[in-house]
Structures are given as structure tokens and as C-alpha cells.
Chains A and B, each alone.
Chain A
């Protein structure tokens, strides 16, 4: 189990995270927050790319700074801007990363073939990566994160660049892996985590806003979310009076989806989804 206890991270005069307390067990955790909310800082703290200004991180009760390499051996990480050597083939690249992960040669060969197959890269394993599309590069990135069969898998924006089919396949892989691993998936694409994550962690104002199941998070908006048709010229006034989550055009009218504490005739109550909570929170 990974525990974050009272962690604060400051960069000189700027505070990125303040008094964060979180616990991660096996399962998929979706980390949702808009850009600049501290998602990447939190992931960097977990992956030892950064160290907290205050507080501590523990893995199975021991401080991760004390576990040092023992902890990093249990990590799989896909950074947001994942670096690779353009002249390398996926096989050669995975071999290099496997060596840095301290994997034994025989296991590394086995796992390389396995992850390349899993990510549908077997046929391209000997082609140079400079010829790859963004989606294929991202798949190589996911493959290297899975290579050492990590206990903690940290993925920063893993679906960026993937087409819908690849995204579905990726979510399927994650679900099968999460049985005996802690998977942390950071994204601002709500649909990536809505149906796959066991819990959602939302960050706001440098702290944890919520850490709960999708169902419980959505419950908070139940009975307060409505849809109604509004004339286009009345839209600015609506936006001032209510918290409008989204809008779409239907003929001459605009259908607005908004939050209100009380219901009025003509308003259609709607079942809130995670996207509604996300949009209402970070509006």
C-alpha cells in the first residue's frame, strides 16, 4: 500500500501541493484535475522525481526515501513527455529501459516479447522508432511502464495520441492489470477513467478535493442538475445566474445543462456523470 502523509511541495515561492493525504491500495485510481492543478507534481513525488518539502511518502509502512532503489524497482512510470531514442527499435529501447530497471537478462527477454505482443507492437519491434506515429510511440511508452511487472503503475496522460480503438484496448489492459497492482492514471479526459477507475482523486486549490468512487462523487450532484432550452440571447444571463456545465445547439435554441439548488417547471432533471462534476468543479 502506498501512503502519502501530509505532503506539501513548494517550488521556491510557489506552492504546488499543500497537506496532501492519500492512500492507494490495489486497483485503478483516476487522478483528475485541470492543467496546472498539481497532478504532475503529485505523480513526480510518487515516482521519486521530486521530493516533498514537508510530509512523507510510505510504501508498505516504510518511507520510500529509505527504500530507495527497492521502491523504484516496484515502479512503472509513463511520463507525460515520454522520451525515447529516435534511432532505436522498440525491442532495443525496451531492452535498454529493462536494464535500467535492474531486470535480469532472461526475464527481460521474456517480458519484452510479452509486452510488445500485449500492445500490438510485435510486427514493428525491429523498425526504428523515428518512423512511428504518435500513437505507436505512446504504445511503446506504455510497454516500457509495464516491462518490470510493477506493483505501482503511474501513467501521466497515457491516452494522449491514441485513437479510440487503441484507447479501448488500453483500458482493457489496465482493468486486467489492476487486480494485483496500484494503477494511478492521471488525465483530464474524464471518459478515460469514468468506467475503468475504482476510485477518483480530484485535486483542487493545491489539495485533495475528493477521493471516492465515481458513484459517490456523482451522488453529490444528484437532484441539482437540469437541462432546459434557452434562447441564444438569454444565454449570458443564464450563465450569470446558474452554473452552466455544458451547452449544445438544437435548432434555434440552446440546450443548457446547469446546476441549481431548486427545480422549476420546464426544467428536465438529468442524471449527473463524472464529466458534469468535473466541469462544475473546475469551471
Chain B
């Protein structure tokens, strides 16, 4: 074999090796690009961290809490005056804290104009959004637990039913909010979905109050827990989807297309 042939053969061998490495790297990258629940938790607790997730949001969180407590109190008064059960109040007020923190933090975030910068970081706007939505769900869960306990003590109602009712309500609302974002590729999709949820419940409550209250009082507790748990599973799946490259691509393109 001549020197030239040996050189060329060596070159081809190197090129084949490089191609193989690139293909392996691509497979590896494709695998790691699929996030799971562990990634979502890691982003929220370790990557971004709970403190940074709500950095500068102390004001809006406080406002959301005040709004929630006031609304829950007023709602309870109205519901009791209507002659309805406390379960109606628990079901109705369960998503308020979630909706309050979500909406107010979104308004504040929009005002800062940090979207473009965040989208170029390792943890993009979508990561922050999904981690916050998980955080809001957990906060709502704890708050509703305390509220259910308080209602059970104050109104001598079934605490477990109260908790199950508010849990299912919160998860259904959260599920709708996430579905709104995924479908509309805009954060305001969540606000629209939330408004629809509120409207449907209002109409239902005002048009057939007896049925509304009866359903919440008489349907088995495990059914509410079942609905809540199923909702939670789908919700987490939706949040994971939000951090994935496919949704980010759609979201980024939609965010930049509005003006055209």
C-alpha cells in the first residue's frame, strides 16, 4: 500500500469514527432531553431553588394570601346565608390562592420584561413557570388543609370530606390552567381556563344550588380523592411537558409571532 493510500485509509477511518461518536452523542442527548418528575423537582428545589423561584415576589405572595383569606371568608358567609353547606365554600375557595399567586406573579414577571433573557438561560422561562406552578399547587394544598381543618372545627363538619373536596377542586383547577397554557401556548391561557372554571361553577351554583351542595355532601369521599389524585398525575405530566424542548419551541415561536 502506498503512502497516499495509507493516508487516505487513515482519514476515512477517522471520519467513520467521528461520525459514530456524533451519532452516539446525539442518541445520548435525545435521551437526556426528555425531562421527568425528578428533573422537575430538582429544578424547583436544587437548580433554581425555592428562594430564587419567588425572588422579589414577597409582595405579590402576601397580597395573594390576603385576597384568598378575605375571599374565603366572604364566600363562607354568602354560602351559609344561602343555606348551603360548608363543602360548597371549601370547593369554591380551594383554587383561589393558587390562582392569586399565579396571576400576580405572572403580571409582575411580565412587567420586568425578563422573558427574552430567561429563555436564553439554562433554566428558561418555561422551567421557572412549571416550577412555580408546582410550588403554587403545594402552597394551595397546605393552605386548603389548614382551611379544611379550621372549617371542620368551626362548623363541626367532616374534616376529611372537606379536605377531599378542596383537594379535588384545586387539582381540577390546576389541571385546567396547565391545559390552557399547553393548548394556547401562552400564559394567559391559564387565566382564561381559570375564568371558565369559575364561571361554570358560578352558573352551576346559582342555577341548581341544591344539586351542587348535595353532590359535594353525598358523593363518596374516595371519589373526590380519586379525582384529585388522577388530576395530580395528569397535572405533573403537563408540567413536565412544559419544560420539554417541544413545548418550549412552540411557546417561543408563538411568543415571537404575535406581533406579525
**Which among A47, A48, A66 is the interface contact of B33 at CB below 8 angstroms?**
A66
Q: State in angstroms the CA–CA spacing of A88 and B52 once bound together.
A: 13
Contacts of A247 in B (CB 8 A): none
* Chain B residue at smallest Cβ distance from A74: B122
B48 in contact with A99 (CB, 8 Å) = yes
B116 at interface, CB cutoff 8 A: yes
Q: Interface readout for B139-179 with A: 1 if CB under 8 Å, 0 if not?
A: 00000000000000000000000000000000000000000
- Chain B residues positioned under 8 Å from A48 (CB to CB): 119-120, 252
Chain B interface residue count: which class? 20 to 34
B22 cross-chain contacts in A, Cβ below 8 A:
61-62
Question: Which A69-127 residues have C-beta < 8 A from chain B?
Answer: 69-70, 72-73, 75, 77, 79, 81-88, 92, 95-97, 99-102
From B26, B122, B253, B260, name the one whose CB has the most chain A CB atoms within 10 angstroms.
B122
Given known A-B contacts A62-B29, A85-B112, A50 and B252 have beta carbons under 8 A apart: yes
| B218 in contact (CB, < 8 A) | no
Q: Which residues of A from 1 to 54 have beta carbons under 8 Å from B?
A: 11-14, 44, 47-51
Residues of B within 8 A of A270 (CB): none
Q: A99-B48, A101-B121 are in contact. Are A49 and B112 (CB under 8 A)?
A: no
Nearest CB in chain B to that of A70: its residue:
B29
**Chain A positions within 8 Å of B119 at CB level:** 47-49
Which of B26, B55, B252 is close to A49, meaning CB atoms less than 8 Å apart? B252
On whether A81 and B116 interact (CB within 8 A), knowing A11-B256, A51-B252, the answer reads: yes
- Shortest Cβ distance from B108 into chain A, in angstroms? 9
Which residues of chain B (115-141) have a CB below 8 Å from chain A?
115-124, 128
**Chain A residues closer than 8 Å to B48, beta-carbon distance:** 99-100
Please name all residues of chain A whose beta carbon is closer than 8 Å to the beta carbon of B47 when the two chains form the complex: 99, 102
Q: What's the Cα separation between A241 and B121 when bound, in Å?
A: 51
Interface flag for A250 (CB, 8 Å): no
Distance in Å from the Cβ of A67 to the closest Cβ of chain B?
A: 6
CB-CB contacts of B223-260 with A at 8 A, as 1s and 0s?
A: 00000000000000000000001000100110011001
Taken together as a complex, chains A and B put the C-alpha atoms of A82 and B120 apart, in Å, by: 12
- Is B195 in contact with chain A by the CB < 8 A criterion? no
CA distance A40 to B197 in the complex (A): 39
Task: Check B256 against A62 for contact (C-beta < 8 Å).
Answer: no
Contacts of A116-169 to chain B: CB distance below 8 A = 144, 154
Shortest Cβ gap from B107 to chain A (Å): 13
Q: How far is the CA of A75 from the CA of B120 in the complex (A)?
A: 7
- Cβ-closest 7 pairs across A and B: A83-B113, A102-B122, A83-B114, A11-B260, A100-B121, A79-B116, A77-B120
Known: A11-B260, A50-B252, A88-B56. 19 other contacts (CB 8 A): A44-B116, A47-B119, A51-B249, A51-B252, A51-B253, A62-B25, A66-B29, A68-B33, A72-B120, A83-B112, A83-B114, A83-B115, A83-B117, A84-B112, A85-B114, A86-B112, A95-B52, A99-B52, A99-B123
13 CB-based A-B contacts, threshold 8 Å: A12-B260, A47-B116, A48-B119, A62-B26, A63-B26, A65-B249, A66-B26, A72-B124, A92-B55, A99-B123, A100-B128, A144-B117, A154-B120
